[in-house]
Copies of this chain bind each other. A is one copy, B any other.
């Protein structure tokens, strides 16, 4: 099922009931593409069906992936939903602003939702270009998974009608590189830096790697740009001119 709609990605969901509720929330607003990353209780999960309340199709067509990176490999725009402040330099959008952003985007969009209890891990947020945060009562933040999904789906559906009015205006903008190309670039960069002795002292390496990844996911480079960067790194790694 390829609808061109944003894809809802549930990262490590715990309860099947909540996966079902998320499916129901999605279908209420016409979203049908669900991807599930490493569900705690495996998949399919018999607890999901009853709470889907008829949105069985969404569950049946859901794709399961081992890692978040694989789940969004073919997506050009990845959004992470978070409630907490992360002190990150990524752009933070409301659901309404994110819906507009996605409507204007070329290429597939994916929206990451974290596990019920803990939310997205830093390593998943790193994959995202932008962050979606629901502006919530600061003294009582208690949105559950399906509620977060429904608010985002609702905002997307609001634009749906408006979107069809102006299809010809968008000139062929170059699509941002797919997530998998960024991953490969990052791996290349990390390997090169590792060989160059860049990650020193070792205990600071994890934080440095987070920074690097965030710097790479931020710009929405095109495929050509990513290839250029890879050329840059290769050249520095193995100079054509001997020093």
A202 neighbours in B (Cβ, 8 Å): none
User: Do A197 and B29 touch across chains, with their CB atoms under 8 A apart?
Assistant: no
Interface SS, A side = loop
A221: Cβ under 8 A from any B Cβ: yes
A237 to B207, CA, bound (A): 22
Among A33-41, A104-112, A119-127, A137-145, the one that faces the other chain is A137-145
A134 to chain B, nearest CB (A): 8
Question: With A196-B240, A198-B240, A239-B196 as given contacts, are A89 and B225 in contact (CB-CB < 8 Å)?
Answer: yes
A211: Cβ under 8 A from any B Cβ: yes
Question: With A55-B142, A232-B189 as given contacts, are A135 and B169 in contact (CB-CB < 8 Å)?
Answer: yes
A151 in complex: contacting residue of B154, B193, B197, B240, CB < 8 Å: B154
Binding site for B on A (CB under 8 A): 24-25, 27-30, 53-55, 85-89, 92, 94, 96, 133-138, 140-143, 146-147, 150-151, 154, 157-158, 161-162, 165-166, 168-171, 173-174, 189, 192-193, 195-198, 200, 208, 211-212, 214-215, 218-222, 225, 228-229, 231-233, 235-237, 239-241, 243
